[in-house]
A and B are shown apart, each in its own frame.
Chain A
Amino acid sequence: MSPLVALLIVPITGSAVAAIIQKYRIAERLVAFLTFSITFLFLLAIKSGDLFTWNLGFLGKNVEMGLQITPLSLFMLYITIAFGIVLTFYNLSEKSKMKSFLLLLTMAASNWIFMSNDMISFFFAWELMSWTSILMIFGGRREEEARHGALYYAMMSIGGSYSMLIGIFLLYNLTGTFSIQSNISYLMSLLATNPWWVLGIVSLFFAAFMVKSGIFPFHTWVPYTYGEAPDGFVPYLSSVMSKYGVYGFLIFLPLTLGAHVPSVLGLAWPNYVLLWFGSVTAVVGSVLAFMQDDVKKLFAYSSFGNLGFILAAIALFTPIGLTAGLFHAFNHLLFNGAIFITVIAVISKVGTTRMSEMGGLWQKMPLTFLTFFIGIAAAAGIPPFAGFGSKWMIFQAMISHGLIFATVLLFFASIASFLYLMRAFHAIFLGQLSHRYDNVKEVSSIGKITEGFLLAALVFFGIFPGFVLDPINSIVSSFGLKPLPTSGYEYINGFFSSVNMVSIFVVVIVAFIFGFLLFAVVAKHKKVSQDDNYTAGQIPQDWNLTPEMYQFSYDFYEPMDKEIAPFLKVKIDGFFKGFGQSVDYIGRAIKEIFTGNVQMYTYLTIGGLIVFIIAGWVVW
C-alpha cells in the first residue's frame, strides 16, 4: 500500500473504530490520538514528488484520479497532522461533546485536499471536510445557537462549493480533463488571448476559498461557528481548517497575470484587489474582535483577521510575500492553537465563555496563564517568539512594493490585535478573582504537558525560524520564484534587514536576569491579598464591595466605540440575512403552488414533461 493511500485509509479506519466505541469517551479520544500519531508515522515515509493514480470508470467515461505530493502539500500535511496530534492529546482530558470520529474524517478529508491531483477528488474532499465539520458543530454547548451556527456555516459552505463546482465543470468543458496541473497550464495558455475569461473562472474558485478562510466579505459565519463549535474542536477549526483556503489560493496564484492585465504599482490588479480583500479582512477581524465579550467569538474574529494578513502577503506573489504568508500560516497555526487550547481549558474550568464573568485566574491556573501570555505575545508579533518573524516579513513585503495604504491598514490591524489580546488577557486572567472560582484548579497533567509543549514550541520556532523557513523556501522555489537567502537556522532574512533571533533571545534573557537581580537586591516586599487594594479611602465592607464589582472588564474599550460606530453601520451580516429572507420569501411563493389540488399537480407534471422533451430535443 502506498503511504499516500495510507494517509486516507488510516484516518477513515480510525474514524470507523471511533464511531463504534463513541460511547466510551476516553477510548474514543485515545483512538483519535493514536490515529493521528500513526498517520504521522506514514507521513514520515512520504517525500515531495510522490504520485499515486487510479482510474475511475463513471458513466462510460474513464476519469483519471490521483494523489500527488508537492512541497506545499507536504508542508501543509506536516503542520496540520502535527497540530492534530497535539490537539487530540489535549482532548484526552477534555469533556466537551466533540465526536472524535468526525474529527478523524475531517483529517482524512484534509489530507485528501492537500494531496489531490484532480479536481473531482479535490471537490469531494472539500465537501467531506465541510460536512463533517458542520455535523461536528451541531454538538455544541448551546443547542439552539449551535444549530444556527452550523446552518449558517453550511449555507455559506454550499454557496462556495457551488461556485467551485461551476468552475470545475467550466474547466472540464474547456479541457476535457480534471487534472489540476493540466487545467492550470491550459489557463496559462489562455492568458495571452483571454485574460478576462481566466479571471472569471479563477474567481469562481476563489469565492469558495474565501468562504472557507473567512475572508471579507464572507467572514460572517466565522464567529457563529467558532463560538458554538464543541470546545475540543475549535482549535482545529481555527488553526487547521482556515488554512485550506490558503492552500487553494496558492493553487491558482502562480497564474501570473502581470503582463496581460493592467497593473497597479507593479502588481497585476487582480492581485492588488486580492491584497485589499486581505487587508480589509485583517482590519475588520481585529476591530470587531476587541468589541466582543464572548472569548471564543473574540478569537474567531482574531482568527480570520490573521488570515487577512496571510492573504495580503501571498497575493503579492513575490518571494518575500509568499515566504511571509506561509510563515504566518504556520505561526498562526501555532499561536492560535496555543491560545485556543488555553481558552478552552479555562472555559472547561469556569463553565462560561463570557469574559466579563472571569478574571484573576492567574492565581489558580499559572501554567495556562503563562502559555496564554506567550501565545498572545507571539500573536502580537513580539520577538523572540513565533509570530514576530512573519509579521515583520509581511510588512517588509508590503512596503517594498510601496503599498502604503494597505501597509498602514495592516499595521493598524496589528495594533488593534494588541488591543483585543490585552483585553482577553486582562478579562480572563488578570484583575480580581471572583469567589465563585475559589475551587478552580489548574488543568490535569495531560493539559499541563500539552501547554508546556506549546509554550516550548512558541519559543523554539521563534528563536529558530529556519526550521520552518527551509521547507518554505523549497515551496517558493517550486513555484518558480527565487527563495530568500538563508544563513543558518537562527536568521530571518527580510527584504530591508535581517535579524538573528538567537542574539535577540540572548539579549532579552540577559535583560530579564538583570531585571530580576535588581528586583531581588532592592528593598523587601510582602505579599498582600487582592482585597488589599486602593479604594480612595473608602472602607470596602461599608458598601459590600465584591471582587466582581471591583473588576473592570466589561466594555473595556467603550470610548473607542464612538470612533468606530460609523463603520459598524455597514452590516455584511445583514446582507446575508436579507438574502436568506428573500430566498425564504421566494420559497414560500413557490410553496403556494402546492395547494393540495391533484388537478394542479397533473398540469404541472405534464407541463414539466413537455419542457423536458423540448429541451432534450433541442440539445440533441
Chain B
Amino acid sequence: MVIEFLIKLVQGIGIGALALATGLLFGGIARKIMARIQRRYGPPFTQNFIDLFKLFSKSSVSHGWAFDLGLVAGFAPMLAALMFLPIGSFTLLPSDSSLIMIIYLMMMAYLGMAMGVLASGNPNSAIGMSRALMLMAGYEVPFAAVIFSVYLFSKTGYLTQIVAMQSGGFMNWNMVKMPLGFLAVEIALQGMLGEKPFDQAIAPAEIASGPMVELGGKYLGFGMIQHSVGLFLETGIVVDLFLGGAPNFWIFIAKQFVLYFIVVLVDAILPRLRVHEATSFFWKLPLFLGILQALIVIIQGGVINV
C-alpha cells in the first residue's frame, strides 16, 4: 500500500515535470515561430526555461497570504488534473479519468489563480480577471456541447475508454467521425489558451498584462508554470478526445504540438477582439457547430434510454 503510493507519487512527479517541460518547450518554440513570422530572429527555444530559472531565483514582493495561497492554488489543481489524463498509453489513475471531473479540477485552478491575483488589489488584474471569466462563459459552452456529444457517441465518460475506442487507425479517430465537433473544439481551444483573437484577459499594452500585473519573481514563475501545465493539459484533452490518444509519449506530444502550432499561427495573424464580441462569437459559430454535431450523434442513435 505504502510502496504503491510512493511509486504513484514518483510517477506523478515525473508526469508533472514532463508536462511542465513540454509546456515550456512549446512556449519557447511558439516564441521562435512568432518571431520568424514577424521576420525577427527571436529568442532561443530554451528561453522559457531560462526565464523560469531566473524568476524562481529572484526575490519578490507578496501582497499577503491570500496572494501566496492563490498562486499555489492556481498551480496545484492543474497538477492534480494531470494525474487523471491519459498521456500516451500511460494513465496514472485510470479508474478516475472522468472527463468532466478533469475540467472542473481545471476550473479550481482558475479560481485559485483568480483569488491570488485579485488579492493583490490592483484594478488591472480585476479587469483582466473579469474579461477572462466573460471569455470563459463563451468558450466553455461550445466545448461542453462537444464533450456531451463525445459522451453520447462513446457511451462512456472515461477518457481512457474514449481513447481506447479510437484505436485502430486514423479512420477511427473522433476527429474523422465528428468533424464539426472537432472544429468547434479547435476554436474553443484558441480561447482556452488565451491566444489572439481571444487574448483580452492578458491584453498587453492595454491593461498592463491584466492578471499578471502584480506578479513578479517566483509569483510570475508560478503563473508561468500554471500556463505551461495548462497548455499541456488542454491540448492533451483534445488529443485524447479527437486525435485518438497516442501509443507513446513522443507521438502524444507530437500531436499536441500540431494542435498548438495551429493555435500559434492563428495567433500570429489575427488582431484582438473586444471581449463581448469574443464571447458572443463563441455563442454563434462554435456553439452552432457543437450543437449540430450533438444532433447528428443523437440522430445516429446515441440516445441511451434508461
Residues of chain A whose beta carbon lies under 8 Å from any beta carbon of chain B = 265-266, 318-320, 360, 362-363, 366, 369, 373, 376-377, 380-383, 388, 392, 395-396, 399-402, 404-405, 407-408, 411-412, 415-416, 418-419, 422-423, 425-426, 430-433, 494-500, 503-504, 507-508, 510-512, 514-516, 519, 522-528, 530, 532-534, 536, 547, 550-553, 556-557, 559-560, 562-563
Contacts and interface: CB of A to CB of B under 8 A. Distances in A.
A319 B305 CA distance: 12
B137 A416 contact: yes
A71 to B, nearest CB: 21
Given A408-B291, A496-B151, A522 B218 contact: yes
B3 interface: no
B274 interface: yes
Given A496-B155, A511-B76, A536-B208, A382 B111 contact: yes
Given A383-B101, A497-B98, A499-B96, A360 B144 contact: no
A412 B137 contact: yes
B80 A507 contact: yes
Contacts, number: 263
Given A266-B305, A504-B80, 11 more contacts: A388-B104, A395-B100, A408-B291, A412-B140, A418-B107, A422-B114, A494-B157, A533-B120, A534-B208, A563-B276, A563-B283
B231 interface: no
Interface in B109-158: 111, 114-115, 118-124, 126-127, 129-131, 133-134, 136-137, 140-141, 144-145, 148-149, 151-152, 155-158
Contacts of A432: 121
A415 B137 contact: yes
Contact of B304 (A400, A532, A562): A400
Given A422-B114, A525-B61, A527-B62, A560 B276 contact: yes
A319 B304 CA distance: 14
B72 interface: yes
A426 B56 contact: no
Contacts of A419: 133-134, 136-137
B9 A510 contact: yes
B115 A430 contact: yes
B279 interface: yes
Contact of B62 (A402, A411, A416, A526): A526
Contacts of B140: 411-412, 415
A47 B131 CA distance: 52
Contacts of A494: 98, 157
Nearest to A419: B133
14 contacts: A320-B306, A380-B104, A380-B111, A430-B121, A495-B304, A497-B156, A499-B96, A508-B108, A525-B60, A525-B218, A526-B61, A534-B122, A550-B122, A557-B130
Contact of A514 (B13, B134, B158): B13
Interface of B: 9, 12-13, 16, 56-66, 68, 71-73, 75-77, 79-80, 83-84, 93, 95-101, 104-105, 107-108, 111, 114-115, 118-124, 126-127, 129-131, 133-134, 136-137, 140-141, 144-145, 148-149, 151-152, 155-158, 208, 213-214, 217-219, 221-222, 274-276, 279-280, 283, 287, 290-291, 294-295, 298, 302-306
A396 B295 contact: no
A373 B121 contact: no
B126 A553 contact: yes
A530 B100 contact: no
Contacts of B295: 404
A362 B119 CA distance: 8
Contact of B58 (A369, A523, A536, A559): A523
B126 to A, nearest CB: 4
A533 B72 contact: no
A83 B304 CA distance: 38
Given A373-B115, A526-B61, A532-B61, A418 B133 contact: yes
Contact of B218 (A320, A433, A503, A523): A523
Contacts of A526: 59, 61-62
A517 to B, nearest CB: 10
A560 B278 CA distance: 10
Nearest to B141: A412
Nearest to A421: B111
A252 B60 CA distance: 62
Nearest to B79: A511
